Structure 1
Amino acid sequence: VEQQDIKALRCVRSRLVQNRTAMVNQIRSLASESGVIFSVGRLQLQASLSRILADNEHELSHTLHHLLKFLYEDLCVLNEKINQIERDIKALCQIQPRYNALLSIPGFGPLVTASFMSELGSGHQFKNGRQLSAWCGLVPSQSSSGGKVRLGSITKNGSSELRVLLIHGARAVGRFASKRDDRLGRWFNALALRQGRHKAVVALANKIARIGWRILTSNDNFDVNKAFA
């Protein structure tokens, strides 16, 4: 039941985030018509819009000022709804026995962990971590001809949402990998040097997915020296 509840909350959150993104884009579009350009990022836009509405330094028309204020209030309501759902997701996840163990894996934030647990359940439907990463579409496609095996791009099979979240988590880890002086940092930096950063990020997503399966289906805890030996 908890697994279904977490997935239901994730579905609603996904829709609300899409609505928020559409609203932010609409605010940018309407404001740009009057020469008001916001910085990149939702938080930057909210802060700038709040100041503009307070002093109207750009001398917006009465109609546009009223409309942007209406959209800003709706945006604040959406933010609160999303934050509440995220708190509900976290509360449900915290009663799961392996939640904190999964959180210790680099790249596994609260949303990645919630998605991982609600999609996999116990995880015992997979024989090993490679089956899981193949189900997520994080393994390269293969083509054979004349006895030669060629590896292509990832298959993108299975759960697209979980795959995207794992890649986002891996990208966040890779952003600071140059500052890590452990086996994970050395493994990622060496791979990025040989294959390029984008391929290294996908490879790291594959790696942490397999590590996550191991942590979920056993009593082991994350050990960077064992995971990236």
Structure 2
Amino acid sequence: MKITTVGIDLAKNVFQVHGIDERGKVVLKKQLRRDQVAAFFVNLPPCLVGMEACGGAHHWARKLQGMGHAVRLMAPQFVKPYVKTNKNDAADAEAICEAVARPNMRFVPVKNVEQQAVLALHRVRQGFVRARTAQANQIRGLLAEFGLIIPQGIGYIATRVPELIEDGANELPGVFRLLVQRLLDHLKDLDRQVDELEAKIQAWHRGNDLSRKLAQVPGIGPITASALVASIGDAKNFDSGRQVAAWLGLVPKQNSSGGKTNLLGMSKRGDTYLRTLLIHGARSVIYRVSQKADACNWISAVVNRRNKNVAAVALANKNARIVWALLAHGRQFDEGYVRKAVMA
């Protein structure tokens, strides 16, 4: 009665465990408190352990791997079809145990501590950027209530608003002037926080060979390169560059049936943050190309044939494939690289 496969439904305090033997017979159904999980698995013979890729999953995956278990993480949407009855912890653990044993299941690579730390910098910086934008919009909206219009662009907040506060001709109440000054101070503090976190990301980028390699690709800077390296990890987990592009949601969504192929807009699956960075980087490349009067290349052809938005997504898709090739094959970026034909 050896346990070969275990599914764990992760939680904050109470974990549900479901185990089967080599014949698929259920031999384990158990609830474990958080402080009991490590002691339980350290005494369990090495087996296949499945978990959903959710909060704390990478921590537990590393911990169980250190005990000799083979751990596989899965996206929750791939586990959902295996839930047979109403949703509860026992049914979820059983579904995870069933899904992890499927031969065609797609798994999420387990991230190490350094990757998680770098991605934490990116997530916190992104939060501060959103808060800074919201604060700037709030200042602009409050001043608009008094008939004072600030031009679009966050840079105008720092240059125009102090002048309006000091101008006595605009009849702003003293309490409101102090309030706007407080909001300006908060905006400056958010801006400082963003700069400090960006400096930390830049420092990590300069010390990482893979990140510096990706930054050589047009449209990929230190922020994008470091986020890609930390998120992808081992590029050999993907079979091709197209899988990376699909993982980022940069490939067309399909609605095909009866042998008729119907391609729609991009799927927008996967990591929104990485997809946004790649598309914004592609827009900067398109802008630079448009400034050259004699530009005649692939990007210009796509822009002329379709439009700049389609060209930006197409270039982001291309860059995602280039990133996979550089990481998976250990190559250096060559702008003039031409793929050699495979001999039959």
Q: TM-score, normalised by structure 2?
A: 0.62
Tell me the amino acid that sits aligned with residue 32 of structure 1. A
Q: Which residue of 2 aligns with 1:34?
A: 146
Percent of aligned pairs sharing the same letter: 37
In structure 2, distance between residues paired with 1:178 and 1:6: 34
In structure 2, distance between residues paired with 1:46 and 1:140: 41
Matched, 1:215 2:311: no
Structure 2 spans left out of the alignment, 5+ residues:
1-112
More helix by share: 1
In structure 1, distance between residues paired with 2:183 and 2:131: 12
Secondary structure at the aligned position of 1:40 is classed as coil
Q: Work out which of the two has the higher radius of gyration on C-alpha atoms and give 1 or 2.
A: 2
| Contact map agreement 2:212 2:222 (CA 8 A) in 1 | no
Q: Which residue of 1 aligns with 2:246?
A: 134
List per-residue Cα deviations over 1:11-33 (Å, max 9, x = no partner). Answer: 11121112111111110111111
Q: Which residue of 2 aligns with 1:25?
A: 137
Q: Which residue of 2 aligns with 1:93?
A: 205
In structure 2, distance between residues paired with 1:228 and 1:181: 28
List per-residue Cα deviations over 1:40-78 (Å, max 9, x = no partner). Answer: 111122111133234455342201111110000111111
In structure 1, distance between residues paired with 2:168 and 2:327: 53
Structure 1 spans left out of the alignment, 5+ residues:
none
| Contact map agreement 1:115 1:162 (CA 8 A) in 2 | yes
Please say which of residues 52-61 and 142-151 is displaced more in the overlay: 52-61
| Contact map agreement 1:136 1:162 (CA 8 A) in 2 | yes
Matches within 5 A, 1:190-205: 190-205=301-316
CA drift of 1:36 comes to 1.1
| Contact map agreement 1:138 1:155 (CA 8 A) in 2 | yes
Matched, 1:117 2:117: no
Matches within 5 A, 1:1-229: 1-56=113-168, 58-180=170-292, 186-226=297-337
Change (3 A) 1:205 1:121: same
Change (3 A) 1:141 1:50: same
In structure 1, distance between residues paired with 2:322 and 2:269: 19
| Contact map agreement 1:211 1:227 (CA 8 A) in 2 | no
Tell me the amino acid that sits aligned with residue 137 of structure 1. G
In structure 1, distance between residues paired with 2:206 and 2:168: 45
Secondary structure at the aligned position of 2:142 is classed as helix
| Contact map agreement 2:236 2:328 (CA 8 A) in 1 | yes
CA drift of 1:180 comes to 4.7
Aligned residue pairs total: 228
- Root-mean-square deviation (Å): 2.2
Change (3 A) 1:101 1:108: same
More strand by share: 2
Please say which of residues 190-199 and 66-75 is displaced more in the overlay: 190-199
Q: TM-score, normalised by structure 1?
A: 0.91
In structure 1, distance between residues paired with 2:338 and 2:190: 39
